[in-house]
Amino acid sequence: MKTRKAVFLGLLFFVVCCGCVKEAKVGKPNLSPDIERRVEKLLAKMTLEEKLGQMSQMHEIYRKESLILENEIRAGRVGSFLNFFDIEKRNRFQRIAVEQSRLGIPLIFGADVIHGHRTIFPVPLAEAASWNMALAERTAKIAAREARAAGIDWTFGPMIDIARDPRWGRIVEGAGEDTYLGSLMARAKVRGFQGDDYGDSERIAACLKHFAGYGAAQAGRDYHTTDIPERVLRNVYLPPFKAGVEEGAATIMSGFNDINGVPVSGNRFLMTDILRGEWGFEGFVLSDWKSVTQLIDHGVAEDEQAAAVIAATAGVDMEMVSSSYIDHLDELVRKGKFPLSIIDEAVSRILRVKFRAGLFENPYTDVAIAPKVMLADEHLEIARQMARESMVLLKNENQLLPLKKNVKSIALIGPLANSRKDMLGTWSLGGREEDVVTMLDGLKKALPNCEINYAKGCDVLDTSKDGFNEALEAANNSDVVIMAIGESAELNGEAHCRTNLDLPGVQRELLHQIHATGKDIVVVLFTGRPLTIGWMLENVNSVLIAWHPGVQGGNAIADVLFGEYNPAGKLTVTFPRNVGQIPIFYNMKNTGRPEDPTDPYTTKYIDVPNTPLLPFGFGLSYTTFEYENLKIEKDKVSMSGSLTVSADIKNTGKYPGEEIVQLYIHDITGSVTRPVKELKGFEKISLKPGQTKTLTFTLSTDDLRFYDINMNFVAELGKFDLWIGPNSAEGLKGSFELTN
Ligand code: GLC
């Protein structure tokens, strides 16, 4: 999708008539002859044990005594370490590998740099709500700069699992439910981490994870089974990975889940047929934490030897933490029971990435760099800007927000108002609490003369109401109440799934009691997932989602609450009315009995509407926008053509503001059932009060392709509806037809 400057990317090479189309190989063909020569030469010198060493990634907690680790490194039995945060030790281990092992192959140090290293940015689901890919790329670039200075060569990110179930704790780690936006985010993050050359001293290798389908965990329970028909896999879950491969991602991580009966970390169809055969991926695949030996628990491997054979044969090149490769493949190869060619292929991929990462030329980290780059001013400014842009205004009755800066007294109530660790969010391994600006800090800085009556009220999970009275007193003694409530960081992330999405603990009761005071209330909601907040939306004047906003969260929240920044974020996940509606997402199918209020025998519940509490793409502003004058260039589009559509967007309020304008289509009739809506474009525009802008999108037939009844990736003739609007539930509607 191209917006404005309609750039039609040349001819589309495909045969339409339900024809024979398989996608061309997409990996960036950037094999460097020099590197390939060096890989080949080095591989030829390696013993089988040294090869298996390269296929092994260790974590200290599993080999406690450093002495053992140093001997393993010296013997060439380790290729990588993960989550090392001690530069001196990292250099010491690297010196052993480079200067004391037989071939001097450097180690590669990986870590979970998911949303920042020392400068922690908002959690990924928050970043996605900014819909600002350039800024998302920028935060990844900063993360790479800090991580490399800390001795980390490779991040286990971006996490690009499409997630449609908010019970799943890891929904926080990705870009949400939409394939199109998730694919753009995958590209932005790979570019940010790697740049054009991840051997650069301020870049790191990326790792697309978790390949694939992990977010479809049954019942939203982490590590649970996934059953994903191939067409859904290809149309929904794989495109972000394909996009990341096209951007040149260095590595991919295989997931924990069993997909359609075959655990991903032993799944040749995924790791070899699709990843290499169809996409031409030349990097390497790392398993997830012990996901190779977990093939035993899945019930597809008798023992660790069998697990090693299945995973290595499937195309998992490096084993994280478990040691079945180095413990068992040696003997099998010597007995002629396992092909050396698979090992040589895996090791070549690993060496290729190590050469590209510049580790042979620059294996050591200059310890003098870190103090200069960590938390640099420009890093903090970007962290503040991303936190501002990620916030989503859900309600603002009677324009209570922005608050006036001359407000005399504010009651700041709630367990998240002054919590440092919760602002960091999950997966913030390099972050430090002392770096955080809490909401209390931010308000005090923004309003030096205001009386801020802070009362925690309760803990996030604790059921004690002992703090309620103090909170009520603060509320009654103040002009306005700001509540800081929601989820703590520990309530989401890996292995932190919830069956109940209400406000945790007694926070809901605290909110009710504060509401009963009759004071105006602003809720700042901290969360890593959609929550069932129907009562809050019904009864509270203003609600702003701050997610877990990172080290600059407190400043950014103050900026938004007092109008320094007019919120423009939009949801990239659907908020359900209750858990019973899950899974619920905007691009579902129409069914054969679409809801019809006049016909009881149509698809619906008898206790709640089919619509969600808040739709994908939803977010308000302090100003208002009007959409008018939809123009569709022509009502018939030929297969080799393209279509420009435009609309006028006007700022009809009194504040300057930004609006994320969204383009959706509906392929009305296909060889298979099609989603009722699909996001195919968006652009964030700034408008002054009274200003109107015409925004033009260009749809190419390439944008209309999907995997059809024959599993070919094609665009099909027929009628389409389209919308240009503020979210997935509203907008100006038009239509067009794809013809021969
Ligand atoms: C974890 C996660 C994965 C992470 C890895 C290393 O179990 O699933 O995302 O990168 O282990 O920490």
Query: 627 C-alpha to center of ligand 1: Å?
Result: 44
User: Can you give the C-alpha Rg of the chain in angstroms?
Assistant: 26
Percent of the chain predicted with pLDDT > 90: 93
Q: Which residue has the tokens 């053509």?
A: 641
pLDDT tens track for 405-448: 999 999 999 999 999 999 999 999 999 999 999 999 999 999 99
Cα 288 to ligand 1 centroid, rounded to whole Å = 6
Q: Which residue has the tokens 């009305």?
A: 668
Identify the residue whose C-alpha is closest to ligand 1 atom 1. 289
pLDDT at 8 over 90: no
State the number of CA atoms in the 13 A half-sphere of 441 facing the CB: 16
Q: What is the pLDDT of residues 377-387, one digit of tens each?
A: 999 999 999 99
- Please give the pLDDT value at position 61: 73
Q: Report CA(431)–ligand 1 centroid distance (Å).
A: 17
For residue 112, the ligand 1 atom closest to its alpha carbon is 10
Give the whole-angstrom CA distance, residue 49 versus residue 55.
10
Residue 236: both structure tokens together: 């929904």
| pLDDT the model gives residue 539 | 98
pLDDT at position 17, please?
36
pLDDT per residue over 496-555, tens digit each? 999 999 999 999 999 999 999 999 999 999 999 999 999 999 999 999 999 999 999 999
Tokens (6 digits) for 562? 């007092």
d(CA 216, CA 258): 10
CA of 592 to the centre of ligand 1 (A): 41
Q: Predicted confidence band at 365 (pLDDT cuts at 50, 70, 90)?
A: very high
C-alpha–C-alpha distance, residues 639 and 698, integer Å: 14
Exposed/middle/buried for 111, CB within 10 Å: 0-12, 13-18, 19+? buried
Three-state DSSP at 12 gives coil
CA of 82 to the centre of ligand 1 (A): 10
**pLDDT-based confidence at 483, cuts 50/70/90?**
very high
3-state secondary structure of 93: helix
Q: Mean pLDDT, the chain, as a whole number?
A: 95
pLDDT tens-place string over residues 648-707: 999 999 999 999 999 999 999 999 999 999 999 999 999 999 999 999 999 999 999 999
User: 664-678 burial, b for 16+ CB within 10 Å, e for fewer?
Assistant: bbbbeebeeebbbbb
Parallel, antiparallel, or unpaired for β 625-632 and 642-651? antiparallel
For residue 359, the one-letter residue type is L
- Looking from the CA of residue 173, the nearest atom of ligand 1 is 9
Q: How many residues does the chain have?
A: 740
Kindly report the number of other CB atoms within 10 A of residue 540's CB atom.
Answer: 23
Give the nearest ligand 1 atom to 156 CA.
10
Beta strands in 308-434 (DSSP E): 319-320, 392-396, 409-413
Per-residue pLDDT tens digits for 558-614: 999 999 999 999 999 999 999 999 999 999 999 999 999 999 999 999 999 999 999
Where helices occur in 99-178 by DSSP H, the ranges are: 124-128, 133-149
Interatomic CA distance for residues 638 and 273, integer angstroms: 33
Q: Is the separation of the CB atoms in 523 and 396 below 8 Å?
A: no
Mean pLDDT to the nearest integer, 329-345 = 98
**Beta-sheet pairing, 319-320 with 56-58:** parallel
Indicate the pLDDT class of residue 64, thresholds 50, 70 and 90: low
Does 65 score more than 80 pLDDT? no
Q: Is 60 exceeded by the pLDDT of residue 48?
A: yes
Task: Inform me whether the pLDDT recorded for 14 exceeds 90.
Answer: no
Measured from the Cα of 207, ligand 1's closest atom is: 10
The residue whose CA is least distant from atom 12 of ligand 1 is 112
- Kindly state the tokens that stand for 139: 């935060």
- Please name the amino acid found at residue 254: S
Alpha-carbon distance values, 327 to 167, 344, 348, 350 (Å): 38, 17, 20, 19
What mean pLDDT is predicted for residues 69-93?
A: 94
Determine the distance separating the centroid of ligand 1 and the alpha carbon of 169, expressed in angstroms: 13
- What confidence score (pLDDT) does residue 683 get? 98
Structural tokens at position 580: 């019973």
| Residue 73 contacts residue 97 (beta carbons within 8 Å) | yes
Spatial neighbors of 188 by CB under 8 A, at least 6 apart, are 133, 134, 136, 137, 140
Rounded CA separation 222/308 (Å): 24
Q: Please give the pLDDT value at position 148.
A: 98
CA of 184 to the centre of ligand 1 (A): 23
Q: How far apart are CA 489 and CA 428, in angstroms?
A: 10
Per-residue tokens: 352:
């290729």
Active site residue 288: yes
Instruction: For helices 507-515 and 468-476, give the axis angle rounded to 10 degrees.
Output: 30
* Distance between Cα 116 and ligand 1 center (Å): 16
Question: Residues with beta carbon inside 6 Å of ligand 1?
Answer: 82-83, 112, 156, 209, 288-289, 494
pTM given for the model: 0.95
Q: Chain centroid to CA 522: how far? A: 28
Pocket test for ligand 1, best of 171, 289, 290, 318 (most atoms within 8 A of CB): 289
Structure tokens at 241: 């990975």
| Amino acid of residue 415 | P
pLDDT tens track for 146-190: 999 999 999 999 999 999 999 999 999 999 999 999 999 999 999
DSSP state of 473: H
Q: How far apart are CA 65 and CA 121, in angstroms?
A: 35
> Tell me, what's the pLDDT at 84?
85
**Which atom of ligand 1 lies at the shortest distance from residue 255's CA?**
8
pLDDT at 19: 35
The structure tokens 């069932």 sit at: 532
| Across 246-258, average pLDDT | 98
pLDDT tier at 462, thresholds 50, 70, 90: confident
Displacement of CA 644 from its chain's centroid (Å): 30
At 290 the three-state DSSP class reads: coil
CA of 289 to the centre of ligand 1 (A): 6
Interval between CA 250 and ligand 1 midpoint (Å): 17
For residue 226, report the distance from its CA to the centre of ligand 1, in Å: 18
Q: Name the residue at shortest CA distance from atom 7 of ligand 1.
A: 289
pLDDT (0 to 100) of residue 12: 40
Cβ density class 326-351: b for 16+ within 10 Å, e for less? bbbbbeebeeeebeeebbbbbbbbbb
Neighbour count for residue 538 (Cβ, 10 Å): 8
Helix axes 553-561 and 439-446, enclosed angle (nearest 10): 50
Ligand 1 atom at minimal distance to the Cα of residue 256? 8
What average pLDDT does range 236-257 have in this prediction?
98
**All residues at 6 or more sequence positions from 585 whose CB lies less than 8 Å from its CB, including other chains:** 164, 177, 573, 574, 616
Find all residues with CB under 8 Å of 56, minimum gap 6, and list them: 77, 78, 79, 80, 318, 319, 323, 325, 326
Nearest to 312 by CA among 332, 334, 282, 336: 332
Mean of the pLDDT values across residues 66-88?
91
How sure is the predictor about 30, in pLDDT bands with cuts at 50, 70 and 90?
A: low
The whole-number pLDDT of residue 31 equals 77
Region of residue 6 (phi > 0: left; psi between -120 and 50: alpha; otherwise: beta): beta
Average pLDDT over residues 8-24: 40
602 within 8 A of 594, measured Cβ to Cβ: yes
d(CA 685, CA 667): 27
Q: Please state the atom number of ligand 1 nearest to the C-alpha of residue 159.
A: 9
Q: Is the pLDDT of residue 92 over 70?
A: yes
Of 153, 161, 258, 288, catalytic: 288
Which residue is closest in CA terms to ligand 1's atom 11? 289
- The yes-or-no verdict on residue 22 having pLDDT over 90 is no
d(CA 131, CA 569): 7
Question: What's the mean pLDDT in 4-22?
Answer: 40
| Paired tokens of 578 | 């209750």
Task: Choose one of 322, 494, 497 to mutate for the ligand 1 pocket test, by most ligand atoms within 8 angstroms of C-beta.
Answer: 494
Hey, which of 58, 156, 170 would you mutate to test ligand 1's pocket, going by the most ligand atoms within 8 Å of its Cβ? 156
> Which atom of ligand 1 is closest in space to residue 157's alpha carbon?
10
Average pLDDT over residues 711-738: 98
Mean pLDDT of 474-487: 98
Q: How many whole angstroms separate alpha carbon 632 and alpha carbon 169?
A: 41
State which of 59, 84, 112 you would mutate to test the pocket of ligand 1, scoring each by most atoms of that ligand within 8 A of its C-beta.
112
Q: What gap in Å lies between CA 576 and CA 565, rounded to an integer?
A: 28
Beta-bridge partner residues of 319: 56
Mean pLDDT of 232-252: 98
